[in-house]
Amino acid sequence: MDFSAKLFTVVAGAVLAMSTAVSVANAAPTPVAACGIEAGLEYATVAELIAAMESGDLTSERLVTHLLARIERLNEQGPQLRAVIETNAEALELARALDAERAEGNVRGALHGIPVLLKDSIETADTLKTAAGSLAMVAASASRDAPLVANLRASGALILGKANMSEWANFRGTNIPNGWSGRGGQTLSVYGADYEACGSSSGSAVAVAAGFAPLAVGTETLGSIICPALHAGVVGLKPTQGLIVNEGIVPLSVRQDTAGPMARTVADSALLLAILQGDESLAEQYQQTLGSASLDGKRIGFPVEYAEGPAQRSDQPLFLKALAAMREAGAQLVPISAQVAPDFDVLYLLLQDFKTAIPAYLQSREGLGLSTLEELIEFNRTQPGNAEYNQAWMLMASNWEMTPDQYTAMLERVVAVNQAALDAPLEAHTLDALVFPTAQPSWAMAASAGYPSLNVPTGHGDDGLPGGMTFIGKAKAETDLLALAAAYEGLVPANCPTL
């Protein structure tokens, strides 16, 4: 969500109905027994790709050529996933240069030669546009790399292109399907056109699941990494607020936006998290922690309604299986209560955040021809081709008024309530983490509290659709969450749909 299933599946579900995905013919995936480089370059892990490059069996140029051909075959043709909004015209040239550097013994860092896709809201100082999915933003490219992009380039990563997204992080209108943007069209799930991709980092999640890139970067304000990761069957991590510098990201809420990694494995997610922070030494620390990860003796809280007994819930069979697997692996599972009622104050805060952030951002970009929210609204009003979609959120934000004192008081209350809802069970039961079925809006608490949350796939249900479990911990608990998720990941079959 940045609003993930329309912000208000969590906050104001009583007001807004869930958007439905556009129905377009789409091939269902065929599961493979195991993923990895033996299943094709598109499903290789970063470690496998780097090892192949180091041995001389693979070049970045060959990898990029393969992925670009795959994107061409599946993104606009075939199932028409529309997960990638633009590929980098300089990708092959960059790959050749990185190969030449490796041949000369110059390896920049842990991602040397590895392609990465970025959400369309992340600035790059190259030929790629940064438009938050909006046609209003394509007049000129950004003039700078976001700090996280500079960190990626320093590690040797190759920016393969921009991923589609819900336009303006799902904060344009109330009747727009999740995963749609004026610039990129409708992102579709690899699990079929009738199964929505969720938003707003829909393109990043679908691209990873479809084998368009081993790594992608999404952003989240309120569920926009976690929900798309669930629907794509990939790992998605929303970091602690402020862990990754959020400069150079088209904002919804400067105070609550954060970039985060999306990958097919926990290990790849951990590696990307380290690079996004600009600290390669963290990559080694994460690797060591994940290498020795175990659930044995870990105390993990889970919603009491899923406790064993007559009242056991049956609507989340994959979550129940996940709990059983963790218990068998030695985890001590503790039923807890951690529920926060839908809170319209979250909406009020985001309306004020958006109203403040968008004019400031527009004025920071040269060549767009827009400098105010009202000018943006007028552009959308006169833009042909999307008249069926409204601008309700933008209009509400434009007319929204809060005094600084009102805003501060409301923000302090929202943060305190959500932190307390998570802190109480963590501290009362001395827990290492909390877990929830990702289909439940537990991400709302973590996002509002500024705490990290991590979706890890739990396999596929009888309907063939992916399940997910969200690990949540206190601020800066990423290392612990990654270790727990990695230990759990080793208990379930590989989760690699292929087209």
320 — phi, psi (to 5°)? Answer: -65, -40
Ramachandran region, residue 67 (left: φ > 0; alpha: ψ -120 to 50; beta: rest)? alpha
Out of 6, 119, 129, 238, pick the active-site residue.
Answer: 119
Closest CA to 237 of 193, 272, 202: 272
Annotated active-site residue 253? The verdict is: no
Annotated active-site residue 200? The verdict is: yes
Out of 141, 224, 269, 442, pick the active-site residue.
Answer: 224
Helix (H/G/I), strand (E/B), else coil: 397 = helix
Mean pLDDT per 10-residue segment, the chain (499 residues):
44 30 33 61 95 97 98 96 98 98 98 98 98 96 97 98 97 95 96 94 97 98 97 97 97 98 97 97 95 97 83 80 96 86 84 98 96 96 80 97 96 93 96 94 92 96 94 98 97 71
- Quote the pLDDT of residue 27: 37
Helix (H/G/I), strand (E/B), else coil: 497 = strand
Domain ranges of the chain: 4-15+35-498
Contact of 257 with 2, CB cutoff 8 Å: yes
Out of 4, 19, 189, 200, pick the active-site residue.
Answer: 200
Architecture of domain 4-15+35-498: Alpha-Beta Complex (3.90)
Annotated active-site residue 23? The verdict is: no
- Quote the pLDDT of residue 358: 98
Output the pTM of the full model: 0.93
Burial per residue of 425-453, b for 16 or more beta-carbon CB atoms within 10 angstroms, e otherwise: bbeebebbbbbbbbbbbbbbbbbbbbbbb
First to last CA, the chain: 26
- Quote the pLDDT of residue 439: 86
